[in-house]
Structures are given as C-alpha cells and as structure tokens.
C-alpha cells in the first residue's frame, strides 16, 4: 500500500508562523480545514491545543468536518464557506457560527432554523469580483442587504470574495478595493459597521507582504499556505513556511522489460499513453514499473516525481511508469521490486490522498 507521509511538526509550525504574521498586520484569519475532510487522526495529530490557540476560527466546506471539530473544540468559532443548501440549514445552524451566503431564500431559511433554536446566526455576504464562483453582483448589494438585514435571527457581520480558486483570477489592489468600498457603502447607506471584510486567501499573501491590500480588508481564509507552505499564484514558497509537508511514497510491485508499444487492437476507452516516445517500433523494449496507487487515489498530473521517468498510464489501482533501461549513470541497476518512488504533491493531490481509504497515512 502506498504511503502518504505527513510532517506534522512542519504543518504546526506553518500555522503558528501565519498566526504571528497576521497579528503583525492586524488581520484576523481563519484556518481552512477542508483539505483533510474532517479526518479524526489528522485532527488529533495536527490540531493540538497549542496550535488551535493560534487560530481565530476555522473554515470548511463540509458540514461533517465542522460538526466533528465542534465536538473536539466546543468553543471553536466555525465558518461554513460554501453557500448552504436550504435543505441543510438546520445542520449549518448546529455546527457553524458563521456562514457565507449568496441567496436571500437560503438566508430566510437559516433565519427560521435559527429562530427554532433561539440563536442568532451570523452571515457573510459573498461578492462576485470576476472569478465566477459564489458571489452576488456588487450592484445588487443594497437590495440584497436590505432584504436580509432585518431578519430577527440573522446578523450580517461581513462581506467577502473568492478569487483564484476556479479560473485563477488574480487578486489585485484594484479588485480588492471594490470589496473594501462595499463596507463603506453599507456603513453610509444603512449605518451598519461590518466586522469582517473577508477578502484574503493564500493567493493574496504576496499582496499583503507588499503592502497592496486595502486596509479595510481585515480577514483572511487560509488553507494552502498553512498546509503546503506556498502561495498558489505561482506555487512558490511564502516566506519561511515549510513546503515539504507531504510526500507520497509508492512501492514498485512489478518491474519487467516489456515492449514500449502495447500489442493488439486498442479500444477508444484507453487512458494510457505510449510512454511519451515518438516513432517507436513495436519490438522496441524498455523497463516498466508498476506502482501501488491509482486513479481512485490521485491524478498523476498533481504529482511531481523525485526521479526522472515517463508515465505510461494508470488504472483504478495501479500506475505504470517507464524507467528506460533501468540503469544508473554508472551502469548499475537503478530500481528493483520493493523500491520506493517518492512524489511531491500539490493541494488537490493531498486532499484526495487524505480522503482515500487505500492510502496508508504516516505521521512523522
């Protein structure tokens, strides 16, 4: 079974570093925990009490994750970052102190659910700034706010935006200024001071470092930088954060010299490729190694191998690589059955591997 190596202390240090960093910039931040899907072992190993003391709140897109986090940390402030489905409003009220919203219908349903439980539920109104994910149009903010601000068990505590997650729209000083203006608009029009202007994520960190984030932006939602140490805009390390927090170790379970090209008639459903080699004859051979993970676990495009070889193809539970003549520069044997191939991982790879029941997780 392939292994996901999790460097617990490095992740903890990243979270603590970010806490100090945001404090120096007078910004509140929430740890986005959706990468580990509420995994109880991950929470026990990473989210220790000393780490959670550094976090103002946590965000997640899975209600089951927030529910378990609330069970472990009853006083923890939680934010549900997906627009809720109306059918799930009772669960949202139970496990989230705050939710991010774009639908008046849903907010009214949240109000009814909160009234039944005799609580006031806080909401952040999400604004569309070009990413075409969740968010109302800025020109609709006045009518939207007016429709929900007087609900008896709802409190509008902020506005927010989401950039860079789907189409990769880059946050800029200009588009964040639009979000900051919405705070002033609400203040001047409705005489309401919003607590949160939630406009920052991992992708916004370089702007903050360069002093280009408008001062009204006072809340960041950060996951990738905390867990992988990078800013996703360029995939580069952010300041002194650790990048080497996760590794995939795959085992070679077969290593045999085989034809470079497959034999027989190929179906149109094939997901494999011809080793990246052009103009090869069917009789030409190279060594093929089979690794013990597959498409059910992770997409090979989200992996970066430690060594140089060619991906041949993948099935649900195996990946085949082409290691050429399987020789080192000095002429020795490079790989054997039982050897480990190491991969570094991007955010999506880590999220998928953590949720896979076919990958062994090892905390170091």
Instruction: Report the CATH number that the domain containing residue 40 is assigned in CATH.
Output: 3.20.20.10
- Among candidate residues 237, 263, 280, the one where a domain is terminated: 237
Domain identity same for 343 and 268: yes
Contact between 121 and 110 under an 8 Å Cβ cutoff? The reply is yes
Q: Which residues contact 71 (CB under 8 A, 6 or more apart)?
A: none
Rounded distance, CA 142 to CA 302, Å?
A: 42
Distance linking the first and last C-alpha atoms of the chain: 18
Q: Tell me: do 68 and 40 sit in the same domain.
A: yes
Q: Are 12 and 46 in contact (CB under 8 A)?
A: yes
pTM of this prediction? 0.93
Q: Crossing angle, helix 173-190 and helix 141-148, to 10 degrees?
A: 50
Q: Which of 237, 263, 294 is the last residue of a domain?
A: 237
Residuewise pLDDT in 10s, the chain (364 residues): 999 999 999 999 999 999 999 999 999 999 999 999 889 999 999 999 899 999 999 999 999 999 999 999 999 999 999 999 999 999 999 999 999 999 999 999 999 999 999 999 999 999 999 998 999 999 999 999 999 999 999 999 999 999 988 878 899 999 999 999 999 999 999 999 999 999 999 999 999 999 999 999 999 999 999 999 999 988 899 999 999 999 999 999 999 999 988 877 777 666 555 555 555 566 789 999 999 999 999 999 999 999 999 999 999 999 999 999 999 999 999 999 999 999 999 999 999 999 999 999 999 9
Instruction: Tally Cβ neighbours within 10 Å of residue 29.
Output: 26
CATH classification at residue 313: 2.40.37
């Amino acid at each position: 079974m392939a292994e996901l190596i999790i460097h617990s202390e490095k992740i903890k240090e990243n979270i603590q570093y970010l806490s100090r960093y945001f404090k120096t910039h007078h910004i509140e931040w929430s740890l986005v925990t959706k990468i580990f899907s509420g995994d109880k072992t991950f929470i026990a190993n990473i989210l220790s009490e000393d780490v959670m003391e550094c976090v103002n709140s946590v965000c997640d897109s899975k209600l089951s994750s927030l529910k378990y986090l609330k069970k472990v940390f009853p006083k923890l402030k939680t934010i549900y970052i997906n627009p809720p489905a109306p059918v799930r409003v009772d669960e949202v009220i139970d496990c989230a102190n705050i939710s991010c919203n774009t639908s008046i219908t849903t907010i009214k349903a949240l109000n009814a659910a909160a009234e039944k439980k005799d609580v006031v539920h806080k909401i952040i109104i999400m604004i569309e700034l070009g990413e075409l994910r969740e968010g109302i149009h800025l020109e609709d903010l006045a009518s939207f706010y007016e429709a929900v601000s007087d609900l008896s068990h709802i409190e509008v505590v902020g506005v927010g935006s989401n950039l860079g997650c789907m189409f990769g729209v880059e946050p800029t000083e200009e588009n964040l200024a639009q979000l900051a203006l919405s705070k002033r608009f609400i203040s001047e029009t409705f005489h309401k001071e919003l607590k949160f202007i939630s406009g920052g994520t991992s992708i916004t960190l370089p702007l903050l470092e360069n002093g280009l984030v408008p001062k009204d932006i006072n809340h960041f939602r950060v996951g990738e930088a905390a867990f992988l140490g990078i800013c996703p805009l360029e995939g580069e390390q952010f300041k002194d954060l650790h990048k080497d927090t996760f590794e995939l170790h795959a085992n070679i379970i077969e290593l045999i010299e085989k034809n470079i090209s497959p034999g027989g008639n190929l179906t149109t459903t094939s997901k494999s490729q011809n080793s990246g080699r052009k103009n090869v004859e069917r009789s030409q051979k190279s060594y093929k190694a089979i690794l013990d993970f597959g498409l059910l676990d992770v997409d090979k495009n989200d992996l970066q191998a430690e060594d140089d070889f060619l991906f041949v193809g993948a099935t649900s539970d195996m990946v085949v690589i082409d290691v050429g003549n399987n020789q080192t520069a000095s002429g020795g044997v490079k790989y054997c059955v039982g050897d480990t191939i190491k991969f570094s991982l991007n955010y999506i790879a880590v999220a998928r591997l953590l949720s896979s029941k076919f990958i062994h997780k090892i905390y170091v």
